[in-house]
């Protein structure tokens, strides 16, 4: 039953994007198979959340960046391996700042943080398998290695993250930029088409929303 619920959630997530963009599938790669996902989990030495696995089985990353992860690019398996290797091999250093110090360990790079999205400028969304004492195993972090911003918990789980982004699509805080009307149909591949988040300060505002929920 639990696995079925995860599948339903990933389906709802995809449907939310498709409801805004009729050619959504054209931006996405063919899904990964079970063997590819097992090899990924062996490589990064963790078991991924079922809802993340469901997404990878449907779409193994983007073939053209569309902002599938709240405006950030969605990493496929090979991209995850590459970015995870970077986080693993980077020299140890403390974070510039931390939003929730009791939930997040004070290190910038850690192989137990699994990247699943990025902005192309060194900033990631990661699944945290090494939380601090009051954190949650599998919590979702905004991990800015390219900008001097605080690391922040934005959701307690990958499921919670998916639900968050569904809410942002429905409220149009995650908006579709679609410039096809400025192009002839045969030239649509040159049009700007992507999902853009409208919240300020990257993910710091989302972290503030999370903190408010936790304090209520």
Encode pLDDT of 68-108 as tens digits. 999 999 999 999 999 999 999 999 899 989 999 999 999 99
Report which of 106, 209, 85 is spatially closest to residue 150, judged by C-alpha positions. 106
Q: Residue 183: pLDDT band by 50, 70, 90 thresholds? A: confident
Segment 102-151, tens digit of pLDDT: 999 999 999 999 999 999 999 999 999 999 999 999 999 999 998 888 99
Does the predicted TM-score (pTM) go above 0.85?
yes
Neighbours of 21 (CB within 10 A): 17
Asked if 40 and 146 touch (Cβ cutoff 8 Å), the reply is: no
For the record, the structure tokens of 148 come out as 């001097």
Provide the terminal-to-terminal Cα distance of the chain, rounded to the nearest Å. 30
Q: Where are the domains of the chain?
A: 2-215
Architecture of the domain spanning 2-215:
3-Layer(aba) Sandwich (3.40)
- Per-residue model confidence (pLDDT) at position 146: 85
């Amino acid at each position: 039953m639990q696995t079925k619920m995860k599948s339903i959630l990933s389906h709802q997530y995809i449907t939310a994007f498709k409801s805004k963009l009729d050619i959504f599938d054209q931006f996405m790669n063919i899904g990964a198979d079970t063997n590819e996902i097992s090899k990924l989990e062996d490589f990064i030495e963790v078991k991924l959340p079922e809802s993340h696995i469901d997404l990878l089985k449907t779409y193994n990353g983007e073939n053209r960046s569309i902002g599938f992860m709240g405006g950030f690019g969605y990493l496929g398996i090979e991209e995850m391996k590459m970015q995870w290797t970077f986080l693993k091999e980077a020299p140890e250093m403390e974070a510039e700042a931390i939003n929730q110090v009791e939930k997040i360990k004070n290190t910038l790079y850690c192989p137990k943080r699994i990247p699943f999205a990025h902005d192309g400028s060194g900033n990631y969304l990661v699944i945290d398998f090494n939380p601090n004492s009051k954190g949650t195993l599998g919590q979702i972090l905004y991990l800015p290695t390219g900008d001097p911003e605080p690391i922040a918990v934005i959701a307690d789980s990958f499921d919670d993250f998916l639900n968050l982004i569904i809410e942002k699509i429905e409220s149009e805080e995650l908006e579709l930029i679609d410039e096809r009307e400025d192009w002839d149909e045969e030239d649509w591949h040159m049009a700007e088409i992507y999902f853009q988040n409208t919240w300020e300060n990257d993910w710091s505002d989302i972290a503030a929303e999370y903190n408010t929920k936790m304090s209520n």
